[in-house]
Amino acid sequence: MNRSFIKVMICSFFLIAFSCREKQDEKHDSPIENAKWWKEAIVYQIYPRSFKDSDGDGVGDLQGIIQELDYIKSLGVTAIWLNPIYTSPNADNGYDVSDYRDIMKEFGTMADFDSLLAGMHQRDIKLVMDIVVNHSSDEHEWFKQSRSSRDNPYRDYYHWWPAEKGEPPYRYSLFDAKGDAWQYDSITDAYYLHYFAKKQPDLNWSNPKVRQEVYDIMKFWADKGVDGFRLDAFQFAAKNTTYPKFPDGFESDFIQYYAMQDGLHGYLKEMNEEVFSQYDVMSVAEGAGRNFEDAHKLVDQNRNELNMAYAFEGVDIPKYEGYDLKTMKDVFTKWDKEFAEDGWLSIFLANHDQARMVSRWGNDSDEFRSASTKLLNTFILSMRGTPYCYYGDELGMTNIDFDSISQYQDIAAINGYQKAVSEGEDMELFMKKLNFGSRDNGRTPMQWNNSEHAGFTNGKPWLPVNDNYVDINVEDENADQNSVLNHFREMTRLRKQNPVLVYGVYELVAPEHPDIYAYTRILDDKMALILLNFSEETSEIKLKDEWDNHSILINNYSDVEFFENSVKMRPYQAIIFNIER
């Protein structure tokens, strides 16, 4: 294309859709080294409590997910990560398991689980289970036994500190209002350890019996045919409980002291030998350790530990005060470079522990919500690494506006509030930050249609539905060719048709550009150029001469404006070009 004069090129959505469909049959012919199904997977994360309620109790359930499997299939995703569905007293919404081999009553039965898995497999969708074994619930039989007497056979399933030894060395609890991770238990006059809430006692991984119990649980699910495991908080599983004192203020950097302690890699190698190597399952760890070296040790192929990890440096960038695009580019680029040769990572901008993607990373105003969500979905689905897309982000669901602590349900929010009060924090600021960043934002019910409670339930939803469901919902977005939802579908189709978007080498373009995140992906003779304008202003970027021969693969506006040898990008415009080489 000759760009030596001013010209405006109009590409209608229909044309783009047509050109994408034309490419559907195109196959990549050169074999890709180390190709794996889990690298090519597009994972859709479902928070079951909030997805679809089939029985009117206000809580989502497995039958609800079954009802929506055709919808999930229509998204073009190839796997589902389900947050925990095991029996639980729900101190932390299922992340406190009291029976690892049974289904939480509110979610259904094992028969429901079996038909969910069968329905997914019929549709070629894989299932990744959440395995929560850094800790159990205090209502798990193991813990009931363990706390009952000092010589109970289950005593060493958990970490205990006898009171006669004096105060245990201080450990910080992420979820406790007082911040103390040792809880005194009068039954045996001893303290037990809980890095999270009091009702989540930490399992003692140095005990081989605990490890065997866990492998047996994983085999139970693998034998049922599940396709993968997400290891919750596993980087904390090996613990240093006796070192007398961590430096003052270590809480603000607790990862340095809690993650990847001695023994962890041994446990993972053993788990790999016992479970992962015996089944065709993928494995992903929450957390990637303290540095690149830790992360490599977790996921490099010859290590025989895990397939991939979620590194949090990226998702931690946006703050209540905003964030800087340059930082985002630097962080995602350095993680990509570091794992270009060996190891594999996940790509995500949201999950159940974050507020909504578009409210943190994009712009959730009426004017820009749609364009900026499309831009963020373009990003996730065009980077190297396995993309994890959080339910509702395919619609552009936003944060909810809670103004009183009584509206929050999340244990982290409630305990955090109590702690802030007791420490005399500026509560006005605290509430603003909570409103922006609370996990409850990301857990409001899925918005299916504009009927009462957004079609999520016939009962009273466990967490309020966002008022904007009348405008943002599946039914309306299905009917709108230009919706966020249909753009998401177009993106998953593109990723699946173009291995360059999965395996291609990533190269950052114009690193100093203040508004536009631009990068190329290259695989053999294929090249894609991705341009993302993260600003609410128009912004320009120069194209290199060697990219002259290009065509548009996807665009979240109906046209692209070229100006001499630049692209003039509209607010939050996101374009992927195919570049002929």
- Catalytic annotation, residues: 232, 286
171/526 with CB nearer ligand GLC: 171
- 143 half-sphere exposure, CB direction, 13 A CA radius: 24
66: nearest Cα among 55, 421, 376: 55
> What backbone phi and psi angles, to 5 degrees, belong to 464?
-55, 145
How far apart (Å, rounded) are the C-alpha atoms in residues 55 and 246? 49
Helix (H) or strand (E) holding 17: helix 13-22
411/474 with CB nearer ligand GLC: 411
How far apart (Å, rounded) are the C-alpha atoms in residues 257 and 253? 8
Describe the chain by its helix, strand, coil percentages, rounded to 5.
35, 20, 45
Smallest gap, in angstroms, from Cβ of residue 27 to ligand GLC? 38
132/376 with CB nearer ligand GLC: 132
Handedness of CA 310, 316, 322, 324 (dihedral sign): negative
Q: Which two tokens stand for residue 527?
A: 């090249």
How is the beta sheet containing 516-523 ordered, strand by strand? 505-509, 516-523, 526-533, 574-579, 550-555
CB within 8 Å of 528: residues ≥ 6 apart: 382, 498, 500, 501, 504, 520, 521, 522, 553, 576, 577, 578, 579
Q: Which of 51, 81, 86, 95 binds ligand GLC (CB under 6 A)?
A: 95
| 176 contributes a contact to ligand GLC by CB under 6 A | no
Q: Which of 79, 97, 231, 233 binds ligand GLC (CB under 6 A)?
A: 233
CB within 8 Å of 241: residues ≥ 6 apart: 159, 161, 168, 169, 171, 193
Smallest gap, in angstroms, from Cβ of residue 295 to ligand GLC? 17
CB within 8 Å of 233: residues ≥ 6 apart: 132, 134, 135, 195, 196, 286, 287
354/492 with CB nearer ligand GLC: 354
- Single-letter residue type at 513: H
**Can you list the positions of beta strands (E) in 57-181?**
79-82, 86-87, 99-103, 126-131, 160-162
199/211 with CB nearer ligand GLC: 199
| 232 contributes a contact to ligand GLC by CB under 6 A | yes
Smallest gap, in angstroms, from Cβ of residue 237 to ligand GLC? 12
Smallest gap, in angstroms, from Cβ of residue 442 to ligand GLC? 10
| 161 contributes a contact to ligand GLC by CB under 6 A | no
232/490 with CB nearer ligand GLC: 232
- Number of residues located near ligand GLC, criterion CB under 6 A: 9
182/506 with CB nearer ligand GLC: 182
343/442 with CB nearer ligand GLC: 442
Smallest gap, in angstroms, from Cβ of residue 437 to ligand GLC? 14
How is the beta sheet containing 539-542 ordered, strand by strand? 7-10, 559-563, 566-569, 539-542
CB 571 within 8 A of CB 538: yes
Smallest gap, in angstroms, from Cβ of residue 130 to ligand GLC? 8
Residues 45-84: x/- map of binding to ligand GLC (CB under 6 A)? ----------------------------------------
Smallest gap, in angstroms, from Cβ of residue 462 to ligand GLC? 16
| 311 contributes a contact to ligand GLC by CB under 6 A | no
Smallest gap, in angstroms, from Cβ of residue 354 to ligand GLC? 10
> What backbone phi and psi angles, to 5 degrees, belong to 325?
-60, -35
Smallest gap, in angstroms, from Cβ of residue 371 to ligand GLC? 30
Q: How far is CA 277 from CA 200, 231, 263, 561, in A?
A: 29, 16, 20, 51
Smallest gap, in angstroms, from Cβ of residue 40 to ligand GLC? 25
Smallest gap, in angstroms, from Cβ of residue 184 to ligand GLC? 21
| 353 contributes a contact to ligand GLC by CB under 6 A | yes
Q: Locate tokens 């909810």: which residue?
A: 400
132/203 with CB nearer ligand GLC: 132
Ranges of H-type helices in 24-179: 37-40, 62-67, 69-74, 110-122, 141-148
Classify strands 190-193 and 282-286 as parallel, antiparallel or unpaired: unpaired
Residue whose Cβ sits closest to ligand GLC:
95
| 286 contributes a contact to ligand GLC by CB under 6 A | yes
How far apart (Å, rounded) are the C-alpha atoms in residues 566 and 395? 31
443/521 with CB nearer ligand GLC: 443
Q: Which two tokens stand for residue 256?
A: 């340095």
CB count, 10 Å around CB of 149?
A: 12
Q: Which of 132, 177, 395, 553 binds ligand GLC (CB under 6 A)?
A: 132
**Can you list the positions of beta strands (E) in 352-420?**
386-390
Helix (H) or strand (E) holding 328: helix 325-338
44/95 with CB nearer ligand GLC: 95
| 92 contributes a contact to ligand GLC by CB under 6 A | yes
Ranges of H-type helices in 127-207: 141-148
**Which residues here bind ligand GLC, judged by CB under 6 A?**
92, 95, 132, 196, 232-233, 286, 352-353
